[in-house]
Amino acid sequence: MYLITKRIFDIILSSAALIILSPILFPVILLLKLTSEGEVFYMQRRIGMFKKPFLIYKFATMLKNSSKMKGGYITIKNDPRLTLLGGFLRKSKINELPQLINIFLGEMSVVGPRPVMQVSFESYPQKIQDVIYNVKPGLTGIGSIIFRDEEEIITKVKNSGGDIWDFYINSIYPFKGQLELWYQKNQSFKLDLQLIFLTAWVIFFPNSRIYEKFFPDLPKRKF
């Protein structure tokens, strides 16, 4: 019953959001077309439910072929590869809104683990790889909420001379995996609604840790 309710909710919310947010989406499309390199959408192969790949939709925020430039697939705060609007779109999370199309098509859900690239998926511990996508990937989720400041964390690691990819493999991905296991253990429609509310909350209050009051049994972040 939960999965049926979740899918119906995804269809209704994604279609309604695309209509309601059109006054934001269309100006962004126009501005992206007229600025930087004229790229509007960025499509990338990500890992979906049961490890099935799909193409994720985002607004373009990086220069073309940015993954082949210095920094590779990892984006830091004030990354020089960001387009004129890229920084704002990423900070406000507007760049993620085209994923409402993925949700409507059934490739994603509103709430779930974030879909990652193959190279990132393979960096999860094996026990996490085996189960993390037993549910649909989401536009938001507990990992997205707790790692609202991920780019800032990575920037600090880089500025201190640390190995960014090593930090992902040994710190970020194992902890994200724990969070998603917690989500799967506790998933319910009520929890999904709470996570949607908390997503909106941390966008406006990025330093808030209010989620700790909602979920005292969450794995504790130590970095």
Residue 180 has pLDDT above 70, yes or no: yes
Terminal-to-terminal C-alpha distance of the chain? 38
Count other C-beta atoms under 10 Å from residue 16's C-beta.
11
**pLDDT of amino acid 203:** 86
Q: What is the mean pLDDT of residues 194-202?
A: 95
- pLDDT bracket for residue 223 (50, 70, 90): confident
Summarize pLDDT for 14-73 with one digit per residue, the tens: 999 999 999 999 999 999 988 877 889 999 999 999 999 999 999 988 887 666 566 566
With CA atoms as reference, report the closest residue to 144 among 94, 92, 195, 208: 195
**pLDDT of amino acid 126:** 94
Summarize pLDDT for 107-158 with one digit per residue, the tens: 999 999 999 999 999 999 999 999 999 999 999 999 999 998 888 898 899 8
pTM for this predicted structure: 0.88
CA distances from 40 to 15, 35, 67, 139, 186 (A): 20, 10, 17, 19, 37
Summarize pLDDT for 75-116 with one digit per residue, the tens: 766 777 888 888 889 888 899 999 999 999 999 999 999 999
H or E segment to which residue 35 belongs: none
